[in-house]
Amino acid sequence: MLCEFCGKEIKADDKYCDFCGAKVEDVETKESTPAPKKKKHKAIKIIVIILIVFTLISCIFWVGMALIFTSKFSAIDFESSYDDLYDEFSDYFDKYFDSNGDYYYNFGDDDFAKGEVVESQNGYKSTYGNLDFSLPASWEVSNLTDEFYAENTLTGAILSVNFYDADDFTSVKDIKSFNKWVKSEINDYKTYGYDIIFADDSTITINSTKSSQLAAKITDSSDVFYEYEFTRAVDDDCFMRISILSSDLNEVGDIIDYLNND
């Protein structure tokens, strides 16, 4: 055998190396004693354990939340909720519809009408907004889906009646802001090359009801016509708009007389 310390050959039964003096039994003991095993990947095991614990806690939490939600959801009284919704809609229907089913509001549109053409008097009647008038035979009257519309077949003058729901506007909250919006519509003529001159805002009484009055003279190189707008609030969130368009200022006065049944 060889001495571990000096590498010289020694006898198997020697207790000391004859060359370096090292104890043979120390060498044997060192050779026979196994090296201690290293601890492998302790950090990885700890991370795995933490992830497992976190996953279990998360599962328990979400299962608990699901059970709570299911319990509350199943406790909802669907029949009661439906009844409340139905009652709310019925109140809305009763407010804006009459017994004949005629509508005040045209759901989903910016403008809407309530009233009916009275053929016997070639006119229009609307208790909602206090309007009731007749027109001469030269006027062709129609009740469109969302407005009353009449045209003088001799002069081309136009008379229309609309109702507007404030909820359909983002900027209209009262009659003042509604009039501002109406004026902006008249100003749209400028995009077609017309000049517009507004008269001072004023008020007028039509069919015993006070209304705001907007008047504008609209011209281009060859045409002149006048637009008059009469507006009134008939509800907290509803506005009536009566529009007159004519090339003859005297005819505008005649139409106002018709509206007043004069």
pLDDT at res. 250: 94
User: Of 157, 152, 225, nearest to 186 (Cα)?
Assistant: 225
pLDDT of 19: 73
Average pLDDT over residues 219-242: 87
Residue 215 has pLDDT above 50, yes or no: yes
For the chain, what percent of residues have pLDDT higher than 90?
Answer: 25
**pLDDT at 86 (0 to 100):** 54
pTM: 0.58
Can you list the pairs that 217-221 forms with residues at least 24 positions away whose Cβ atoms lie under 8 Å?
218/186, 218/189, 218/194, 219/194, 219/195, 220/193, 220/194, 220/195
pLDDT in tens, 68-113: 655 554 544 545 555 665 565 555 445 444 444 444 444 334 334 4
The stretch 168-190 carries a mean pLDDT of 85
Least confident of 54-68, 106-120, 221-235: 106-120
Token pair in block for residue 92:
């809305």
Helix (H, G, I), strand (E, B) or coil at 173: coil
Q: Between these two residues, 35 and 145, which has the higher pLDDT value? A: 145
Give the model's pLDDT for residue 21: 72
Average pLDDT, the chain: 75
Do 239 and 164 meet the contact criterion of CB atoms below 8 Å apart? yes
DSSP letter at 200 equals P
Residue 26: CB atoms within 10 A of its CB come to 13
Separation of alpha carbons 143 and 117, rounded Å:
6
Task: Give 235: exposed, middle or buried? Use CB within 10 Å, 0-12, 13-18, 19+.
Answer: middle
**Residue 47: per-residue pLDDT:** 78
Q: What does the pLDDT look like over 232-245, one tens digit per residue?
A: 887 777 788 899 99
What's the token pair of residue 262?
A: 């004069």
- In this prediction, residues 188-213 reach a mean pLDDT of 91
Q: What is the pLDDT of residue 32?
A: 47
Give residue 146's pLDDT band: very low, low, confident or very high (50, 70, 90): low
- In this structure, what DSSP letter does residue 59 have? H
Domains belonging to the chain, first-starting first, are 1-36 (no CATH), 111-259 (3.40.1000.10)
Enter the tokens of residue 227: 């637009």
The encoded tokens of residue 247 equal 């090339």
Q: Give residue 159's pLDDT.
A: 93
- Contact present, 247 and 226 (Cβ < 8 Å): yes
What pLDDT was estimated at residue 127?
A: 63
Query: What is the model's pLDDT at position 113?
Result: 46
Residue 106: per-residue pLDDT: 42
